[in-house]
């Protein structure tokens, strides 16, 4: 009965683990849930107030499909200041989260059989969105030695005449790594020379830890402008996941094409949420800074605790809110794979994690620290008990 397109697509495994955890919780079992891909902080009050104000002011009707002029203008100004190249409002589309910006792009630019290079590990929706748009995801495995980002040699190995786009995500989900400027520059040059569209997902761009600055391609190579679409969101920076507001910046013709797709699907993000997003851009920077600093503290704590265990190899997070852990020694000892380990941790230790397989990279677990210190503390205690019980290194 299903369309062929959908038969190629799986529901997100990140959500699947979360659902299993919630099912156990409904049975009255306390679960230490480290699967969250969203901030645990409430949306800052001035943003909530702006939404109420918008409703009362009657901003409850359809908006322009690419978003309200005020928000597009504010985003264009913000991007012009950040990137050092002029960005016009016509180069900005406001979308229902970063997710819809990506989806609009693939729907607008992929023909059946077009290949999209996706470095792995990777976020779950990249490859499924490409499939939904009748494209072909081509996975490009990366290595820990290059912080799980692709090198130009890696990209050359997987590029074919059908390669249409490359997706690059930094700060990175699931590894928490941040792409260094020299590496980014080499990749941008590579894409531009080959006329490959660069889809630059910087949804965690405001959440990096000191000495790991986040760079945008145009800050390094302004001439790359005709080839780059950057995707950003209010979800992570401002704890606004449920509000569903993101945006993309790119060449005017790309934004126009993406707006056509959007105009026939969701029309536009909720009017009220767009006004709230405008207020988010105006909240004092110290609000976001204090949230960022909290993530940093938690990330360091989690990394340090995991690193004490000789059989685990965590990677120090440099941005976002995830610790990526190589668990291969534990897998060997338990004679299982990462999905098996995640299930056993959930059922025996009541700790919920996401197996690396969900990100196309077996042998790892992703632990989110977008949760309270108390949950992290309990989760780690349960994890260590589990390891001791099974004699794991
Ligand atoms: C790498 C990455 N890109 C994009 C998104 C989309 O987020 P949203 O649609 O809430 O903006 C996420 C969410 O988890 C993500 O991890």
- Residues 224, 367 within the same domain: no
Residue 99 beta carbon below 6 angstroms from any ligand 1 atom: yes
- Residues 80, 60 within the same domain: yes
Q: What is the pLDDT of residue 31?
A: 94
Q: How many domains does the chain have?
A: 2
- Residues 341, 246 within the same domain: no
Helix axis angle for 97-109 and 252-263, nearest 10°, is 100
Instruction: Decide: 154 and 142 in contact? Cβ < 8 Å.
Output: yes
pLDDT at 112 over 90: yes
* CATH code for the domain in which residue 224 is found: 3.40.640.10
Of 100, 106, 129, nearest to 262 (Cα)? 100
**pLDDT, mean of residues 188-217:** 96
| Residue 319 DSSP symbol | B
Q: Going by C-beta distance under 8 Å and a sequence separation of 6 or more, which residues neighbour residue 286? A: none
| Backbone φ, ψ for residue 109 (5° rounding) | -120, -10
**pLDDT, mean of residues 94-114:** 98
Residue 98 beta carbon below 6 angstroms from any ligand 1 atom: yes
pLDDT band of 13, cuts 50, 70, 90: low
Nearest CA, atom 14, ligand 1? 37
- Residues 22, 50 within the same domain: no
On whether the pTM is more than 0.85, the answer is yes
Q: Going by C-beta distance under 8 Å and a sequence separation of 6 or more, which residues neighbour residue 100? A: 244, 246, 262, 265, 266, 269
Ligand 1 center from residue 99 Cα (angstroms): 6
**pLDDT, mean of residues 286-313:** 96
Q: Reduce the DSSP state of residue 354 to 3 states and report it.
A: strand
- Residues 10, 113 within the same domain: no
List the alpha helices (DSSP H) in the chain.
Answer: 4-7, 13-26, 45-56, 69-83, 97-109, 124-132, 152-158, 181-193, 217-220, 252-263, 271-280, 285-307, 328-334, 338-344, 373-389
Q: What is the pLDDT of residue 20?
A: 86
- Residues 36, 90 within the same domain: no
pLDDT at 14 over 70: no
Residue 14 beta carbon below 6 angstroms from any ligand 1 atom: no
Of 280, 299, 319, the position where a domain reaches its end is 280
Residue 201 beta carbon below 6 angstroms from any ligand 1 atom: yes
Of 262, 280, 298, the position where a domain reaches its end is 280
Residue 206 beta carbon below 6 angstroms from any ligand 1 atom: no
Of 245, 280, 315, the position where a domain reaches its end is 280
The atom of ligand 1 lying closest to the CA of 244 is 10
- Residues 152, 30 within the same domain: no
Q: What is the pLDDT of residue 211?
A: 86
- Residues 103, 187 within the same domain: yes
Residue 233 beta carbon below 6 angstroms from any ligand 1 atom: yes
Mean residue pLDDT of the chain comes to: 96
> Residue 181: inside a domain, yes or no?
yes
Dihedral in degrees, nearest 10, Cα atoms 187, 88, 252, 202:
40
Lowest mean pLDDT among 30-39, 247-256, 347-356: 30-39
Please choose from 101, 104, 129, 173 the residue to mutate so as to test ligand 1's pocket, defined by most ligand atoms within 8 A of CB. 173
Q: What is the pLDDT of residue 2?
A: 87
The atom of ligand 1 lying closest to the CA of 233 is 11
Residue 95 beta carbon below 6 angstroms from any ligand 1 atom: no
pLDDT band of 22, cuts 50, 70, 90: confident
What is the Cα–Cα distance from 141 to 157, expressed in whole angstroms? Answer: 10
- Residues 341, 311 within the same domain: yes
CB atoms within 10 A of CB 10: 12
- DSSP annotation string for 90-143: GGEEEESHHHHHHHHHHHHHPPTT-EEEEEES--HHHHHHHHHTT-EEEEEE--
- Residues 244, 294 within the same domain: no
Q: What is the pLDDT of residue 332?
A: 98
Residue 123 beta carbon below 6 angstroms from any ligand 1 atom: yes
> Residue 26: inside a domain, yes or no?
yes
Nearest CA, atom 13, ligand 1? 37
Where in the sequence is the domain holding 179, given as residue range(s)? Answer: 46-280
> Residue 392: inside a domain, yes or no?
no
What is the Cα–Cα distance from 189 to 168, expressed in whole angstroms? Answer: 13
Ligand 1 center from residue 236 Cα (angstroms): 8
């Amino acid at each position: 009965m299903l369309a062929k397109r959908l038969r190629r697509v799986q529901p997100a495994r990140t959500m699947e683990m979360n659902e299993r955890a919630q099912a156990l919780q409904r049975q009255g079992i306390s679960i230490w849930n480290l699967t969250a891909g969203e901030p645990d902080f409430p949306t800052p009050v001035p943003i909530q107030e702006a939404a109420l104000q918008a409703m009362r002011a009657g901003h409850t009707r359809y908006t322009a499909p690419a978003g309200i002029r005020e928000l597009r203008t504010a985003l264009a100004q913000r991007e012009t200041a950040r990137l050092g190249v002029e960005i016009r409002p016509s180069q900005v589309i406001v979308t229902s989260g970063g997710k819809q910006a990506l989806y609009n792009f693939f729907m607008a630019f992929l023909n059946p059989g077009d290949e999209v290079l996706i470095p792995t590990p990777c976020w779950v929706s990249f490859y499924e969105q490409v499939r939904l748009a009748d494209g072909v995801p081509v996975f490009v495995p990366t290595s820990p030695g290059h912080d799980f980002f692709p090198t130009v040699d890696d990209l050359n190995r997987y590029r074919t005449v059908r390669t249409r786009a490359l997706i690059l995500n930094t700060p990175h989900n699931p590894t928490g790594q941040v792409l260094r400027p020299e590496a980014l520059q080499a990749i941008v040059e590579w894409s531009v020379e080959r006329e490959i569209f660069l889809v630059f997902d910087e949804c965690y761009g405001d959440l990096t830890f000191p000495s790991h600055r986040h760079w945008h391609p145009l800050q390094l190579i302004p001439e790359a402008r005709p080839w780059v679409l950057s995707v950003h969101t209010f979800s992570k920076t401002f704890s606004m996941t449920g509000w569903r507001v993101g945006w993309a910046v790119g060449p005017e013709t790309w934004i126009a094409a993406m707006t056509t797709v959007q105009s026939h699907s969701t029309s536009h993000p909720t009017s009220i949420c767009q006004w709230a997003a405008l207020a988010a851009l105006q909240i004092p920077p110290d609000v976001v800074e204090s949230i960022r600093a909290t993530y940093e503290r938690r990330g360091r704590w989690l990394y340090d605790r995991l690193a004490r265990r000789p059989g685990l190899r965590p990677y120090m997070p440099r941005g976002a809110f995830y610790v990526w852990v190589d668990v291969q020694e534990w897998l060997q000892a338990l004679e299982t794979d990462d999905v098996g380990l995640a299930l056993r941790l959930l059922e025996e230790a009541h700790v919920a994690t996401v197996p690396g397989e969900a990100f196309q990279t077996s042998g790892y677990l992703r632990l989110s620290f977008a949760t309270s210190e108390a949950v992290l503390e309990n989760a780690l205690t349960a994890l260590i008990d589990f390891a001791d019980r099974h004699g794991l290194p």
